[in-house]
Amino acid sequence: MKTTALASTIATALSLAFAAVASAQTHHEKPTYKFEKCYGVSKAGQNDCYTSTHACGHVSKVDGDPASWIYLPAGTCQKVVGGSLTEKK
């Protein structure tokens, strides 16, 4: 009985540790090329950083989140369907 409880406790601790690592937020470096922030075009979990709803990359929950942005080469955002140079409200 004690062995089962100990194993369960260890398993829970490990799963919490792995969950914390998996949800770690990332900060992307600015690109070395001339860029612009393009809002509303990133796939879920593929945004770059710093929005009004979250602080880091890879945390957006839906495709095309109007508050999430990605770096694109300057002059290309408005050529992408749904792309905006400003956050959509």
Q: Please state the domain extents for the chain.
A: 26-79
The pLDDT > 70 percentage for the chain reads: 62
Cα dihedral 24→68→53→63 (10° resolution): -80
pLDDT, tens only, 7-42: 455 555 545 444 444 444 555 678 888 999 999 999
| H-run or E-run covering 46 | none
pLDDT, tens only, 45-84: 888 876 666 667 777 888 888 888 899 999 999 999 999 9
- How far is the C-alpha of 85 from the C-alpha of 69, rounded, in Å? 9
- How far is the C-alpha of 48 from the C-alpha of 42, rounded, in Å? 9
What's the predicted TM-score (pTM) here?
Answer: 0.62
Residue 62: what pLDDT? Answer: 84
